[in-house]
Chains A and B, each alone.
Chain A
Amino acid sequence: MKRSSPEPSDHDESPDVPGFRTWRGVYLFVFGWFVLVVVLLAIFSRVFA
């Protein structure tokens, strides 16, 4: 049976965004940003508690 999800190579294509060579890189950047935001919010809670 064939896969109904996209081929992995989709995410290795260039997103045409300066600084990123693949979509995978874009997703990793967004994920990293999300982790940073949550960590900063946790620190914020601790500092102002």
Chain B
Amino acid sequence: MNLTDWVVLLGTMLGIAAYGTWRTRHTDNLNTYLKGNHNTGWVTIGLSVMATQASTITYLSLPGQAYENGIAFIQNYFGLPLALIIVCVAFLPIYRKLGVYTAYEYLGKRFDAKTRLLGAALFLLQRGLQAGITIYAPAIILSTVLGWRLDLTIIFTGLLVIVYTVTGGSAAVNLTQKWQMAVIFGGMLTAFVVLLSKLPADATHIAGAMGKLQAVDFTPDLKRRYTLWSGLLGGLFLSLSYFGTDQSQVQRYIGGAALREGRLGLMFNAVFKIPMQFSIVMLGALLFVFYQFQPDTPVFFNQTEWQRHAQGPQASAFRAIEQKHAALHADKQEKIRAWVAARDHGEATAETAARTAMVEAQKASDAIRQEARAALRAVDPKAKIKDSDYVFITFILTQLPHGVIGLLIAVMFASALSSKAGELNALGTTSTIDLWRHFRPLAAHDEPRNVRNAKWFTALWGVFAIGFALFVSFAENLIEALNIVASIFYPALLGVFVVAFFLKKVGGSAVFWAAVAAQVLVLALFFLGKVYPAHEIGYLWLNPIGCAACVIFSLALQAVIRTKGPPVGHVASVA
């Protein structure tokens, strides 16, 4: 990075943060602080929902994942539009009409205090963990490739987001997220255009022939992580949990000028999310093609980690792997060109033979990459052997012009700040409304005190996230780590909301214990899968299983204990 990059990076990041802080510095009304400005329109809400969901991991890890495994991950989002329609129809109108600050407040009105606390606790637990991951993920990658200190990167990012989120609350989060999304769209589009300008004419066909463009997999196999079925069913439940019951999302759309704004903001996401994610995974698949024609494609993309060990006592073994990879890479390039030539000439037999040779060359190349990882692990059992997260950042730093590099690094920070801000805002709100106000009911009407406490809780969660990111080492595959954490804690929570909305005869005690039992079941399934990998099911399936378990247990318990919840009419009369 040179001076121009630094000016673009710092100008963008500090500029947006300062603007958000200044514009919302006088936010002292509780409603505005927790729900945003009452005149917020659907475009801002839609962008805010999108910005909260897409963290840096989306923009850094997803292209790498597609580079490595193809674009099948896109199926993970297939349930999202359906879930958003359900949220618009069933969830949002009730949240709006009850005028709640949090989704868990609704549980208190529908069931009882303990179910509300359980909902809030499950949210705080899983979102608190994820808050650490979302701040750690970009920091570890950017600090590794740019040579920055990891601790300072985490602290700088964390403090910046704390300043404007604490100052302006939801209003600042909405405002800054809109501009951060503009930076993200601009930067990603620029990177895509530059990449396209460097690709051969047959790039898409090459990616397809090498197995990177299998977007939809109809195989009905529970063990496969991404299929049409797991995406539709598992993705539907995961998205329903996230958008319907996770306060970091609920908070984004329950504010606004009217119900219409929230609905249109969600529909905006339902329409654009899959195409947006598709463009990101396609970027990864095309990066794969780009690197097939680069003479200096590294055997391991995390070059900092590689060079650290390649210069040690095992240097000769590492050099041998590099030379073997270079030879195989050149051979593969020839075979790709042979396949393209056969295809252009329309020679079916020659094309089939050339494709087989090309795929075999790719397998040999994959094998040497595995050998490289094994060599790293052999010299250092703690070595980070997952390098797919470093593919896109390597492209940014080596192929983009100065200024654009700064813009793309700004994209990474903007996405980190925007998702982090949404999380902190929600964690602070839930802590204030569902915990503090629950235990201090007399203070509920003291508005200035509520705002002060919301600010304190937001700051505390920010500090917690920074501390968590500083002292905990996370899973190497970051985007999956986020989804796995969500798939463990969301299903029971979603089950509680499904019961709340659709099973009016079930009361608080039944649903409370059913949720506890469903949570235990999901944890047991997850850990049994780790102990007996042969029987492990794809994590997306935990979502429908956990949710269904909670609903069934609720019905069974209600039938057995005959416990009556508080009168549902209380909610119905408001709704």
- The interface of chain A, by Cβ under 8 A from chain B, is 1-6, 10-11, 15-17, 23, 26-27, 30-31, 33-34, 37-38, 41-42, 44-45, 47-49
A38 and B208 form a contact (CB under 8 A): no
Check A48/B204 contact, CB under 8 A, given A2-B568, A41-B74: yes
Q: Which residues of A contact B205 (CB under 8 A)?
A: 48
Q: Mark B482-518, 1 if CB is under 8 A from A, else 0.
A: 0000000000000000001110110000000000000
Distance of A19 from chain B, by nearest CB (Å)? 13
Per-position contact with A for B521-536: 1 when CB-CB < 8 Å, else 0?
Answer: 0000000000000000
Chain A to chain B contacts (Cβ below 8 Å), 17 pairs: A1-B569, A3-B504, A15-B263, A16-B260, A26-B267, A27-B89, A31-B82, A33-B270, A33-B271, A37-B274, A38-B78, A38-B216, A41-B216, A44-B213, A45-B213, A48-B209, A48-B213
B13 CB to closest chain A CB (Å) equals 33
The residue from B81, B267, B572 contacting A3, defined by CB atoms under 8 A apart: B572
Looking at A2, A10, A48, the one whose CB has the most chain B CB atoms below 10 A away is A48
A8 to B289 Cα, complex, angstroms: 51
Q: Are B215 and A41 in contact (CB under 8 A)?
A: yes
Least distance between A39 CB and chain B CB atoms (Å)? 9
Q: How many A-B residue pairs have CB under 8 A?
A: 90
Q: Could you say which residues of chain B place their CB within 8 Å of the CB of A33?
A: 81, 270-271
Q: Does B556 contact A (CB under 8 A)?
A: no
Q: Are A34 and B274 in contact (CB under 8 A)?
A: yes
Which residues of A sit under 8 angstroms from B278, Cβ to Cβ?
41
Known: A15-B264, A16-B260, A33-B271. A4 touches B207 (CB 8 A): no
Q: For window 168-204 of chain B, which residues contact chain A by CB distance below 8 Å?
A: 204
**Is the CB of B85 closer than 8 A to any CB of chain A?**
yes
Q: A2-B568, A16-B260, A17-B264 are in contact. Are A45 and B81 (CB under 8 A)?
A: no
- Looking at the complex, which one of B85, B94, B215, B569 makes contact with A5 (CB distance below 8 Å)? B94
In whole angstroms, how far apart are the Cα atoms of A49 and B216 in the complex? 11
Chain B residue numbers with a CB within 8 Å of A38 are: 78, 216, 228
Assembly CA distance A34 to B500 (angstroms):
28
